[in-house]
A and B are shown apart, each in its own frame.
Chain A
Amino acid sequence: MPYDCIVCVKQVPDTTNITGDAMKEDGTVNRAALPAIFNPEDLNALEAALEVKYRYGGTVTAISMGPPKAAEILRDCLYRGADRVILLTDRRAAASDTLATSYILSQAIRTIGQYDIVLCGRQAIDGDTAQVGPQLAEKLGLPQITYMERFWGIDGGWLRGRRNTGRGWEDVEAKLPVLVTVLGHANIPRPPSARRMMRFKHARAEAELRAEIAQEHPGISDSALEEELGRRKQKLAELGLLIDQWDLDKIGADLGRCGLAGSPTKVFRVQSIVLTKKGYTEIPPTPEGIRQLIHELVVDRTLG
């Protein structure tokens, strides 16, 4: 029996490999200099969806909420085997916290309509909150299997998997439709296929086409841009290479629940951690010095 999967994917700055180039003079991280990558655990979520598709049949739809540049990872999804990709982009969605993000994704998934399994990576490396998955499950009224480290199979309308519980594991089964969040060691994501790369490398979303036209024809009039855009969209659509692009109106979102207005949490202050590149911090061999050291290790999450 075939199953339809929806995978939520995010493009994130690569916080795991911060090199000298990404460091500013004052020792803080220059976020703009970090490469944008496919959030690692979202690749595991995509792989789990592809596994379902190849074992049981069905479809894989990938959806990404973000700026137009996020279409890059959607192309990657196509290269790896996704059937359909959707770019959810809207300036009014900027500054959404996890609650607003999960609301917007839930509206997009309702707009897609048909699905059996929604998959997310456990967490994104820019925030490490692991909240959007459970919040999205609640919004869609689905049971959730978080921290899935093994996918066993689907039988009689129930999905069976192994959850990591920190000090051990539990095998659970959940009735479809279900939402799962996938851990990084759950599987080994397949690489992009060369054949699919050839086929989909020219796939574009409308926002990308718009930027390309503006770059190729500096000073182009609005009407000429719209005309050229219409022409290119038509051509890509005929080839099956136009990436669906949705905004908040398309998914019928209540604007009061999106973006800054829809986010109960606000960032009040951000402090950069100054990384010392050379040398070590000398700790005096006194009870006070040692106590301070232990405190520092707990606060920066080395201990605990």
Chain B
Amino acid sequence: MIQVNRSGEVWVFAEQEDGSLHDVALELCGKARQLADRLRVPMAAVLAGWQVRPLASRLIAHGADKVYLVENQRLAIYQTAPYAEVLIRLIEKYQPQILLYGATYLGRDLAPRVASAVRAGMTADCTDLDIADLTDPRSKQVHPKLLLQIRPAFGGNIIATIVNYDRWPQMATVREGVMAMWPPDSSRRGEIIEEHVPLDGLTEVVRIIERHQEPRKVNLKGARVIVAGGAGVGSKENFRLIHELASAIGGAVGASRAAVDNGYIGKEHQIGQTGTTVRPALYIAAGISGAVQHRAGMEESAKIIAINIDREAPIFSVAHYGIVGDLKKVIPMMIQALKERQGIKVGPPA
């Protein structure tokens, strides 16, 4: 068990696969850098794998002061036991005060296993992190500079703030895409520290027989996000905006019947009674007035954003968010806001 220690570093588990870093690792570097500055301690990334040394410089460019590098052939393909062993040994050796993982399938397989072994707290799927001095409401004791682990719970109906008063490291998985990725600074200097964690003693109790990675493909039925355009888009040229927003947000392109009839896009993109019925997590309707036939095909979407110049358009009756305005101005603003979050064209926060 690790006790509370104020000099411990802030760590990020640098998830990588087949020699490339997962985006979430770089997003976490940005957040961990901020937290480490607030705590006035170094920020380090733990990079485990086989022949992954070239990735260390990217972690440094994204904010790491140190990279703990563990290379071993048994780490070539992710497996729970050897990866957990690496983290357990390094945590015991260096006693970091914070350790963040991406809330990916891999992170959520690994992190709780490690937490159990070091008997530390573990908070899943955080959407925000902060540092604050807190008073334990039970003991009335003041705890300086704790990590606030903020996450939705109860099916997303509440937001809970979780803290670890007395047992560290403070560990959390963080949802992908929530923390902004800062642009890399290649002039940053950092230290690569090679670590040897013996893994030969681990018996092989899990074998991977076959792996399959699906190519990323988007279809209307399976899309989490759909950006759809209607007659209000005005022309085939303007319809490019719909494609650009869909691409920036990682969604599929949909259309109303009017947009298809006007020849802005093919019929396979049509949503509504005579097209495809969809229920994505987010549906953005741009320049779609919202005839009942269209609404029937999309009103079950979890979140609906309507963009229309006409305040009286029926689409607003099913919308959760309404933007009354010109889509030719609003869509570029949305693309810009998304790019800012992805760390393009913005500097690190002061």
Contacts and interface: CB of A to CB of B under 8 A. Distances in A.
A297 B303 CA distance: 9
Contacts, number: 246
A231 B127 CA distance: 53
B207 interface: yes
Contact of A131 (B115, B175, B209): B115
Contacts of B16: none
Contacts of A184: none
Interface stretch (A64-72, A76-84, A122-130, A193-201): A122-130
A15 B156 CA distance: 9
Contacts of B123: 129, 265
A120 to B, nearest CB: 12
Contacts of A210: none
B221 to A, nearest CB: 15
Interface residues of B, number: 85
Interface string B159-182: 111111111000000011110000
A173 B320 CA distance: 46
Contacts of B210: 170-171
Q: Taking chain B's interface residues, is the majority helix, strand, or loop, or is none over half, making it mixed?
A: mixed
A273 B158 contact: yes
B205 A174 contact: yes
A172 B334 CA distance: 42
A13 B115 CA distance: 27
A147 B106 CA distance: 10
Contact of A171 (B122, B160, B209): B209
Contact of B121 (A99, A136, A290): A99
Interface of A: 13, 15-16, 18, 28-29, 31, 97-99, 102, 125-139, 143-147, 158, 160, 164-175, 178, 263-273, 275, 280-287, 289-291, 293-295, 297-304
30 contacts: A16-B155, A28-B157, A99-B121, A127-B124, A134-B109, A138-B116, A138-B117, A146-B108, A166-B105, A167-B213, A168-B213, A172-B209, A173-B206, A174-B205, A264-B120, A266-B136, A266-B164, A270-B160, A271-B160, A280-B322, A281-B321, A285-B323, A287-B337, A289-B323, A290-B333, A291-B337, A294-B334, A294-B337, A302-B303, A303-B249
